[in-house]
Amino acid sequence: MGEPAAEPELPVLLDSAKIAARVRELAAEISRDYQGRTPHLVGVLKGAWVFMADLIRHLSIPCTVDFLGIASYGADAISSGEVKITKDLDASIDGRDVLILEDILDTGRTFHYLQGVLAAHGPRSLKLVALLDKRSRRVIPVQPDYVGFEIPDVFVVGYGLDFDQKFRHLPDVRYLPKPPSH
Ligand code: XMP
Ligand code: MG
């Protein structure tokens, strides 16, 4: 009986207004760089979908969208680099200007893997847009082409990002004061 226990308040790293302003800037940059073309935006599920939904509404050029579902083996907080595709692309990327949209770039292993898989399918160009970049954690030297925010090595949730499938709905990016064990 009664109310479910409230989640403890998590500290805010990036509030929703700051995120919205930066997402608009990224959309303007991409619209400029892809003027006269129709980029194909591939969102990496599930973390990138909130970011993608906001970003495309500020593009001033046409685009098409698709989604790729991936799951990392091992614990949620750690990327082993062994990635399993849980949902493949619906449409061919042959000859397309592909922009991969990621919620966060951490060690770089996931993106490195995706880059290899997608490059094999003959896109005209392949670039990475990452909302968040934990640059200090990089193991594989991959560099996003567009970055929302460089962030410190904290475990973040909200704005699509989860811990154990929780917190995706939070409008701000927050962090867990006690990081999940690495
Ligand atoms: P790698 O290390 O392969 O990792 O670049 C990218 C994936 O790791 C997850 N990840 C996080 N997820 N908060 C999250 O909710 C974080 O702070 C975090 N750091 C890494 C995420 O799935 C990302 O796609
Ligand atoms: Mg996750």
**Residues of the chain above pLDDT 70, percent:** 90
Closest CA to ligand 1's atom 4: 106
pLDDT at 77 exceeding the cut of 60? no
91 to 68, 120, 160: CA distances (angstroms): 11, 14, 24
* CB neighbours of residue 136 within 10 Å: 10
Say what the pLDDT of residue 134 is.
Answer: 97
Using a 6 Å cutoff on CB, does residue 54 contact ligand 1?
no
Mutate to test the pocket of ligand 1, among 52, 106, 149, 175 (most ligand atoms within 8 A of CB): 106
Buried b (16+ CB within 10 A) or exposed e, 117-128: ebeeeebeebbb
Mean pLDDT computed over every residue of the chain? 92
Q: Which CATH class is domain 12-176?
A: alpha beta
Cis link prior to 46 (omega < 30° from 0)? Answer: yes
Between CA 72 and CA 170 the distance in angstroms is 23
pLDDT at 132 exceeding the cut of 60? yes
pTM (predicted TM-score): 0.92
Q: What integer is the mean pLDDT of 116-140?
A: 96
Question: Is 153 tagged catalytic?
Answer: no
pLDDT at 123 exceeding the cut of 60? yes
